[in-house]
Structure 1
């Protein structure tokens, strides 16, 4: 039996400590049930079967929402269609901001796509989980304050943590090929095949060494506020160069959420009736 936002307890009187998690994606399993991709702090990304979640009277309907922190109880594992699935025994709302909408919603979907594509199942990443939670909070604040720069910085900061957690982000304080310290006044490129390089042309969309040093310091200190602040120093350059690193790491030429953003921008540019 599932618990709602108002009810407490867990199914079957289990004393097991609930998991902390978010719903990343859902798809239909039967006329009444859902398969969930769930991102948990304790177990990483897991697949869960939510029996009866689509029924009109199911308490799960108001709980299993994206971008809302949940307390989850999972049951025994079993194989469904060749995949390991756990039964969702209960789900309870654990707090969170207003539902994301507009540009903030697309940003949230971008975070989810990175996790779905780039994190293996049953591989816990508690540090990345905490970064995800704080990024969602930043997206809510940016929406309330109509601060697009804050939202962009929050996304770049999460992408950096994601790449660092995946082991593919080079040391931003050193030129990768020579291991010489990055010079604050020099401009650098962050390349998927060569790491941190000194920009060789004035036409290169380089990132200042001072920004790279601030990013590396914030990453090492696990200071997310400082990391977001440092991302404001080169917003467009970081966006394009981190995108290339993400595409290389995830093995794709374009993320689905990025393609959707491009399509929406094209529609807005055309305007009504064009």
Structure 2
């Protein structure tokens, strides 16, 4: 199968052998595709290497045989966003989730559009909310999303209650006598309703929403977590040391 002038976003690139690269892209019509880019490490291939960096929007020609496709041409369609600090880590997280959860060669045009929206939002403000929206829409595109306005029993969400997210059935209301640990890892009903309406929740509701969604993602990822989660945890520990300012935008 030939990919001709196929729009795609670069998710990951790593060296392969002496002069080549293995590149993972999220394409518009063919989903996630692994590419072998041969002979791109020489000084005359700098433009091509630049087009194959993560977050870059490109147009590719490739020949697909088996699991990997042989790249024959690639050109950048725009300038990739400049991501620094927390935004760079958030971008790494977005790419890692896609690499782990999206199977190769399954068409997901909605994921291609979602990545474009998320990529545009990463350099801006409200980073935590950007990631929660991405997680919500990723689950929906993969067929694992929920109706965020009702609980698993079909009862309308109570904004004053707290809910854990059952990975298979959706929000489950917590009883008032639950322990502090379980409640702190639950989302407020107010946050779930905000998610349903695509409205940014109160800043105090974002940590619980993050923990609740992480439980769902962990279920789908299996026993092996994400490297980006480890990096976020280490960064949080560094920032919590005496004399350091806490991170205001938990991802």
TM above 0.5, one fold?
A: yes
SS of 1:249's equivalent in the other structure is helix
Q: CA deviation at 1:242?
A: 0.5
Instruction: Give the alignment of 1:1-274 within 5 angstroms.
Output: 18-58=5-45, 59-74=47-62, 76-79=63-66, 84-142=67-125, 150-176=126-152, 178-192=153-167, 195-201=170-176, 203=180, 204-205=183-184, 206-216=186-196, 218=197, 227=198, 229-230=200-201, 234-252=205-223, 254-269=225-240
Task: Note the alpha carbon deviations across 1:56-112, whole angstroms, 9 max, x for none.
Answer: 2103122111112111111x2234xxxx22111111111145321211111001001
SS for the counterpart of 1:120 is coil
Matched position secondary structure for 2:43: coil
* Cα offset, 1:157, TM superposition: 0.6
Gaps of 5+ in 1: 1-13, 143-149, 219-226
User: For 2:12, what is the secondary structure of its paired residue?
Assistant: strand
If the length of structure 1 is used for normalisation, what is the TM-score?
Answer: 0.77
Post-superposition offset of 1:41: 1.4
- Aligned pair count reads 236
- TM-fit CA distance, 1:239: 0.6
Deviations 1:5-48, CA, capped at 9 Å, x for gaps: xxxxxxxxx9x751111111122222111111111111100111
Q: Unaligned 5+ residue runs, structure 2?
A: 244-251
**Greater displacement, 154-163 / 21-30:** 21-30
Q: Is the 8 Å Cα contact of residues 29 and 35 (structure 1) preserved in structure 2?
A: yes
Deviation at 1:113, TM superposition (A): 0.7
**Relative to 1, partners in 2 of residues 1:245 and 1:200: Cα closer, same or farther, differing over 3 Å?**
same
1:194 positional shift: 5.1
Q: Secondary structure of the equivalent of 2:171?
A: strand
Return the offset for 1:252. Answer: 3.1
Q: Deviations over 1:99-157 (max 9, x none)?
A: 21211111001001111100000011111221111111111123xxxxxxx01100011
Distance 1:266 1:181, change over 3 A: closer
Residue 131 of structure 2 aligns to a residue whose secondary structure is helix
Query: Does the CA-based 8 Å contact 1:173-1:182 persist in structure 2?
Result: yes
**Aligned residue for 2:246?**
none
Contact map agreement 1:34 1:49 (CA 8 A) in 2: yes
